[in-house]
Structure 1
Amino acid sequence: MWSFHVDGTVPDKREWNWVFGSNTAGRHGKGAAKVASREFGARYWLARGHVNRSYAIPTKDDDLVALPLDVIKLEVDAFLSYARHMTRERWFVTRVGAGLAGHSDLVMARLFLGAPDNCSFALDWRHFMLDAAPWDEPVSRAEVVQPSAAFRGARSSSRVYGASDLGHSVPQGRWRTR
């Protein structure tokens, strides 16, 4: 079962890989990409894939224009395949493509529906993913990841929005999903 975390938090980097949206030039200067570079070992000029404790998914081109969804879907599918094979790793997926790239949370969350259980997603995506999840069995519980540190100023000029800012209560510990 997937776990969910409060958007704008940073997990313990010894336990998690940070999955973030990048640009095809590999310039990690803002948002989750900046956190990836500073905290999780993402390398400048490497636009996609697993490096150190980070995984880059391109969502913008070299000119910082949002990529089309069909291109992003191919990149997300490549990540999902990789995560399925890396079963001992844990993947802390940020709101890839829904922040600076400007795609909707609904569309981006649904691209990750085939994700393996070793992935954690932003709590903001929970209802998009669980309501559309293709399971035959009812979901009984989802775990909220308790982050080790707050998201510290990676989005230099924009406010960091969490679930509580969007009118959702932020649960503590575990809660029922259905």
Structure 2
Amino acid sequence: MHIDSLAPHEVFVFGSNSAGAHGGGAAKFALDRFGAVWGQAEGLQGQSYGIDTMSGLDVFEEQARRFVAFAAEHPEVRFLVTEVGCGIAGYRPVQVAGFFAGAGENVVLPASFVRELDDRG
């Protein structure tokens, strides 16, 4: 899925770093197009939502779980998740897809994450 525009009820979910320096990849796209805030690493930012993927897997997992909980509290919003952590951060879907297990129907995961979650049963 290639995301280049959003409906009013949609949010672009991207990988960030602890400084919120959105200088490349999906983070730069979120900054340029969807209201990401320079200096904000995590959370809702305009029509985007950042998850720190650059501070280690423990931080990534904790923030991904907070995102899943946030999405559950906002069923009226459709969250479009990029391959968070699989670009500049260098992880593979097999390492990180499980962080999004249990996400609700309003969370659209990338096909690679869905495959990994399906494989886990």
| Normalised TM-score (structure 1) | 0.64
Cross-structure match for 1:85 = 73
- The 10-residue stretch of structure 1 (117-126 or 76-85) with the greater mean CA deviation from structure 2: 117-126
CA-atom RMSD, angstroms? Answer: 1.3
**What CA distance in whole angstroms lies between the structure 2 residues aligned with 1:68 and 1:41?**
25
Give the gaps of 5 or more residues in structure 2: none
Overall identity of the aligned pairs, in %: 35
Aligned length: 120
CA contact (8 A) 1:13 1:39 kept: no
- 2:53 counterpart SS class: strand
State the alpha-carbon separation in 1 of the partners of residues 114 and 75 from structure 2: 22
Partner of 1:10: 3
Correspondence for 1:56 among 28, 31, 50 = 50
Letter in 2 for 1:118: N
Ranked by relative contact order (alpha carbons within 8 Å, sequence separation 6 or more), the top structure is: 1
For the pair shown, the structure with the greater C-alpha radius of gyration is 1
Structure number with higher helix proportion: 2
Corresponding residue SS for 1:32 = helix
Q: 5+ unaligned residues in a row in structure 1: which ranges?
A: 1-5, 61-66, 134-178
Equivalent runs, 1:105-116 vs 2, <5 Å? 105-116=93-104
Q: Segments of 4+ in structure 1 off by > 4 A?
A: none
What is the CA distance between 1:103 and its match in structure 2? 1.3
What is the alpha-carbon distance in structure 2 between the residues aligned to residue 12 and residue 118 of structure 1?
Answer: 17
The AA in structure 2 aligned to 1:80 is V
